[in-house]
Chain A
């Protein structure tokens, strides 16, 4: 792969975030490949070394990309991690595909508000996370997965996350998490 093609891939990854390409596409230098479950597609995303990753911005005291409602968004991401990370001893990617209600049941522990405000906050947060590639949200099917950006977390980060995982309550859904078809709306639990 030529230098120009590499540069183009980097530019693409920077402008569009994580890229989903068919498996077999030549991965350029320095970009991480994440295989989709099923193996037909791969995600290509830039993962800088740990010292230059997203945490570096914080260390330098700079403000990174601003997020609206950063706390709610972070809480929902934690809820998704809690639900989708099936085995905390293993790698976090790809994780499980869980119903949206399971995620909201965890999120509710950290955002106890009246029903409409709660749902609004949850949907807004998951949309933001989906837009940034942190989670993959199937709005129609009401399913949530972890997004490719979680591969950016380093081993040290994952240790902290495991600790959080242990502290967080699990999803309290009475439906099996792997049910493929989760027909919407039998009333919100809560």
Chain B
């Protein structure tokens, strides 16, 4: 087993990305599903094993010698990878006989490893360029024939179609993080298209009968161009006004901030100069501060006074600023000598809801006032007159009460 992992989330994500490329590459080679390596340590071990064989010369190595040469790596892991490499033929016995302990390694697996690492690091763009160059050389060679050119065109169509499909899928549906991780698919797309167009032009000039294949290549190139434009547009849109395409995921920043030492953190601000804190205190400001502090003595809020309303033998609601005379004048004017008057008449004399509301509020105040000898008595019924200023009025009567300084009953309010 590999040692317990100490990687943070982003490190694991990077590993997963590399493994994904490997898995894609190996998909055509896998003997059965699920047999792919699941840990980059295995690859490192493979590399170490192959390096050990490279240093050993022609005599070969035993398993124990290999394990010793790969010393920091786990011995059991080395043994397991050794067996696996042997089962695939990457390591063979020096002499093919039972109990032969010396082995030697083939060279192809190491080349494959190199290629894979390059593929994972650069997304295969360089390989594509090389492929295109090779195809260009192939079709330009004098002994190339139409079938070669056709096969070459087919390969290019397939490559560009696959790239375009992957890109447009990511541009439309995938989360933008995934798109950003695969941004290397976008790198240098103009040059790729240019190279492919060169191949296309040469083929069309030499073998005009291949125009069907050439059309297919043209559409594939167009699709790839569109897809990369869409993906770039999405990236730019997501990056916003900052155009910070290199924006790192949040986890990367966090991991950096947690794991970096002081020097690394300080290096972030290299080239930036901050002013020292230099507030200025003018003597005038100091004088003002001193002067203002004299008023800044603690403000003592007086304790709440006890409510003393009943000392003069009257009701506690009585206030000095009383509106009793005002209300008395009002009801006297409204009653005009009568004993009672209906609300209907009172409100009908006004000019609409606002005036009616004000009047009713004052009448209610008069009703509740102990010194005003009127009451409002509400009855059943509703007077409705669409033409009146107040179209509907509850049946109510404003009535003068006997002069005894008190409302007759408390239940007459509605």
A binds B: yes
CB within 8 Å of B: which residues of A? Answer: 11, 14-17, 53-55, 57-58, 64-67, 70-75, 77-78, 81, 110-113, 128, 131-134, 149, 152-153, 157-158, 160-161, 163-164, 167-168
With the chains together, A112 CA to B281 CA distance in Å? 22
Residue pair A113, B293 in contact (C-beta under 8 Å): no
With the chains together, A67 CA to B278 CA distance in Å? 9
A interface footprint on B284-304 (CB within 8 Å = 1, 0 otherwise): 111111101110111000000
19 example contacts (A-B, Cβ-Cβ < 8 A) are as follows: A14-B275, A15-B273, A16-B276, A54-B280, A58-B280, A58-B285, A70-B279, A71-B292, A71-B293, A75-B293, A77-B286, A78-B290, A110-B289, A134-B281, A152-B280, A157-B283, A158-B283, A160-B283, A164-B287
CB within 8 Å of A: which residues of B? Answer: 273-290, 292-294, 296-298
For the residues of A in contact with B, the DSSP-based class is: helix
* B-chain residues with CB within 8 Å of residue A55 when the two chains form the complex: 280, 282
Residue pair B280, A65 in contact (C-beta under 8 Å): yes
* B-chain residues with CB within 8 Å of residue A72 when the two chains form the complex: 289
* B-chain residues with CB within 8 Å of residue A15 when the two chains form the complex: 273-276
* A-chain residues with CB within 8 Å of residue B290 when the two chains form the complex: 74-75, 78, 110, 164, 167-168
What are the 3 A-B residue pairs with the smallest beta carbon separation, nearest first? Answer: A54-B280, A17-B276, A74-B289
Residue pair B283, A153 in contact (C-beta under 8 Å): yes
Residue pair A132, B278 in contact (C-beta under 8 Å): yes
Minimum CB distance partner of B273 in chain A: A15
For the residues of B in contact with A, the DSSP-based class is: loop
Residue pair B280, A64 in contact (C-beta under 8 Å): yes
Residue pair B280, A160 in contact (C-beta under 8 Å): no
Residue pair B274, A74 in contact (C-beta under 8 Å): no
Residue pair A112, B298 in contact (C-beta under 8 Å): yes
Minimum CB distance partner of A162 in chain B: B283
A54-B280, A132-B279 given; name 6 further pairs at CB < 8 Å. Answer: A14-B276, A58-B282, A71-B293, A133-B276, A157-B282, A158-B283
Known: A77-B281, A113-B298. A164 touches B286 (CB 8 A): yes
Known: A78-B290, A160-B287, A164-B290. A11 touches B280 (CB 8 A): no
* A-chain residues with CB within 8 Å of residue B281 when the two chains form the complex: 54, 73-74, 77, 134
Residue pair A11, B273 in contact (C-beta under 8 Å): yes
Known: A75-B290, A113-B298, A164-B290. A65 touches B279 (CB 8 A): yes
Residue pair B279, A78 in contact (C-beta under 8 Å): no
* B-chain residues with CB within 8 Å of residue A161 when the two chains form the complex: 283, 286
